[in-house]
Structure formats: structure tokens, C-alpha cells
Structure 1
């Protein structure tokens, strides 16, 4: 069975006391029900319109405060959940990417929570949330060409033994570990601060697991709570 055990640098807890996340690991099976993603996205749009999550605004504001603590202006580089919600509120919907990405984006929108999805087969070692020293490699594209864009010293990053997998905590994913529907080993991380009730964090993870199970019957899925 695929085993992924992310770790959290204790210094991150100083930036965001009470940070907790749920890690979801998937040994994928063939996708036979891709429409699950579109259905999840419709529920997410309805939830945004209804504004039923009374804590959502406070949760996103707390992410903004956490970003400021490591020198990032959230107005320019917001957490991933806020960035998605801004696009939904501006354009009415998100463009379709692929079933797996659309599903975890839908969970992010519905629950106002940053959700990362990674192709774990591309990892070297285990994922860890830590503080950058500025020397790490981060693979991205600039002007359509592969490029290295190292993080700033003091920046919160997700990384593995090879380099950065996500910059500015959950702002931008790297190319090397990018997830799509063809991946055989998938890893998801749902990240929350104390302003999000733990029951809502659990519900978000349960909805993601349920959606993946419907989308790819036969997939082996496990989850665990991760805390600093």
C-alpha cells in the first residue's frame, strides 16, 4: 500500500499556530465516472452563492495574516482557496482542467480551504512543509520556457528532497509534481487554520474521498490528520 507521511517544520507553527491538515493518499484506478467532478463543481458554486459557511471569510482572512508573517502580500499572492474564489466571483465559474483537478478545486471552493493535489510518483522522498533558505530549486515556466524560480529566504514552502513543490505555502505548484488524471499515485493535502472548524475540515476531506471513490471505483484511499 502506498504510504505518504508529510511532516511540518515546528517553525511553521510559530507563523500559524493551530495549523492542521488532512493528507489523502490514493492508489488510482481507471476513471470511469468523470462527471463526478462537474457535479462537485456545481455544488461548490451553489455553496458560494448561498454563503452557508459562516466561518469562511474569517478562515481566508487568517490565511492572509499567515502570509504576511513570512513577508508576502496576500493581495498580490493570496492563498490558493482565495485565488479560486476570486475567479469564481469574477467569472462565474472556473475553466475545466481534468476530472481530478476539477474535483479538488471544487472542494477548495466549497469549503474555502487550500487543497493541493500532487503526482506522488514524481516525488523524491517525503513531502515536508518548511521554511526556505532561498537556495532551493523551483521548476516553473516563464514565457513558455522551463525556468527555475527559487523561493525567497524565509518563505513557507512545500518541498521534497529534490526541491520546492509548492511556493508560498499553497500559492503556486511546481511543474515536476503537477497532478493530472493519468497519475497512478496521488497525494492531496487539505490545509486549515483554527478559524475553520475541525468538523468542516473532516467534511471536506470526506467529500474529496467520496468523489474520488465514485470517479475511480477500485482506488485505494487512505487519509490522516497532520499537525505541527
Structure 2
């Protein structure tokens, strides 16, 4: 899977500074949220709040990486105030981060602590290769509406992650499809850690190391592999 993941030329041209660190974790033993994963979320929220206070004292309200993602959304026609980048949405909830399950809690905590969009996917539900493309507009996106299964379609030109079956995440990292989300029964997962300038590649790797350590706390025998795709100089 890792060797086959690719980013379309049209996305590279849109944001030459984009890079994604892809991570596979095989042999997970996920479960419901517990005291450990709840503590990860709590501490990440506290650190993010402290970082926000420090920026405010220096006259800056938002994290530079969040600002870069808002700009990227505008670049393909999305309105980041209406459909926010995932890390932007999480950072707005640092005082009440939702507990989902142990693995999701782990990557959400890292996302908040490192101000970094991270997507988590169940590898066993994937059909073919993960790739980041600009949508045609007729691809299917499995979601729910009013509690019932529904199929939506991305806007033409929207940046999406997809596989052979359809869109797995809309608007780059805004919303994940139902089919590939990580549940308590997930055994094999794919994580996508996404950065734009001015986010340092060293910090991207540090976030990946932190996530790997948390996954090993959940499942000590988990097998983890990583691959950096792009280095901000396409």
C-alpha cells in the first residue's frame, strides 16, 4: 500500500509545498476509549490552549499551519469558514475533544498537539490504491444524512483522497467517508499526516514518531511502516 500511494500532478501544482507522511499500522487491537486515551486528549487540549495563549500574547490569533490550510482550501474553491480543515476544527474544540475509540483518540491527540491534519483509515476496507486528486465531480462519497446511509458527490476540482471505489475524504482533510473510518474492530490502519509550508518536515516526522509510540501503547506488537511523499519541492 505505501509504495503505491500517489499525489496527482494537479494537486502538486496547486500546492507545491504539500507533503504527506503516510503510515501503515498492522496488527492493531483497538477498543473503546479508556482512561489512557482520554488523558491523551486532555493533555493535548491543554498544550494547544497554552500555545494559543502564547500566540495571542505575541499578537497572533491562529497557528501558521492552520492559516496555510485555510489558504489551500480557498485555492480549490472551498470556504474554510464553512468546511474547516480537520486540524482547524479540532483546535476549536480543545476544551472538549470527543473520545471516539483508542486509535482515533491517539491520532486526534497528536493532530491537536502538533497542529497537523491527520487522517485515519481502515486498510481492510480500501479498494485499490489511496491517491490524492482533484475530483471530476461524479465520484461517490459514502456518508449519512438524517441517520441514514447517503451518497454525496464532491465539487468538480475539489481536492479529495480516493480509492478505486470512491472518495475516502472530501476537501483534502475535511470529512472522512463512512466506509473507511476506523472502528473498534479495526486491525490494520493507514494514517495520513499532511503538511504545508511553513510546517517543518522535522516536526512532521516527530509527530509520526509520537503517533507510532501511542499505537504501540495500544498494541505492543503492531507493525508500523512510514513513507514521506513529497518534500515541499515538487
2:40 maps to which residue?
40
1:48-63 equivalence runs, <5 A: 48-51=48-51, 57-63=63-69
User: Aligned to 1:127, which of 127, 130, 134?
Assistant: 130
User: Aligned to 2:70, which of 49, 64, 86?
Assistant: 64
Kindly provide the CA deviation profile for residues 91-144 of structure 1, in whole angstroms up to 9, marking residues without a partner as x. Answer: x12121111111111011111111000001011101000000001000111111
* 1:176 partnered with 2:175: no
2: CA distance, partners of 1:143 / 1:4: 38
Kindly provide the CA deviation profile for residues 138-190 of structure 1, in whole angstroms up to 9, marking residues without a partner as x. Answer: 01111111111100000000000110000001000001111123111100000
1:58-97 equivalence runs, <5 A: 58-88=64-94, 92-97=95-100
2: CA distance, partners of 1:216 / 1:116: 19
SS of 1:96's equivalent? coil
- Provide the aligned length of Structure 1 versus Structure 2: 224
Mapped contact 2:18–2:195 kept (Cα < 8 A): yes
1:127-146 equivalence runs, <5 A: 127-146=130-149
1: CA distance, partners of 2:150 / 2:82: 21
> What displacement does 1:31 show?
4.8
1:7 maps to which residue?
6
> What displacement does 1:46 show?
2.4
* Cα distance change, pair 29–59 in 1 and its aligned pair in 2 (3 A): closer
Mapped contact 2:143–2:152 kept (Cα < 8 A): yes
2: CA distance, partners of 1:211 / 1:20: 23
1:18 maps to which residue?
17
> What displacement does 1:39 show?
3.1
- So what's the TM-score if we normalise by structure 2? 0.90
> What displacement does 1:215 show?
1.1
* Cα distance change, pair 47–66 in 1 and its aligned pair in 2 (3 A): same
Kindly provide the CA deviation profile for residues 71-104 of structure 1, in whole angstroms up to 9, marking residues without a partner as x. Answer: 001010110000011122xxx1212111111111
2: CA distance, partners of 1:156 / 1:39: 34
Runs of 4+ in 1 over 6 A off after TM superposition: 52-56
2: CA distance, partners of 1:148 / 1:181: 24
> What displacement does 1:28 show?
2.0
Q: Which consecutive residues of structure 1, in runs of 5 or more, have no partner in the other structure?
A: none
User: Aligned to 1:193, which of 189, 192, 196?
Assistant: 196
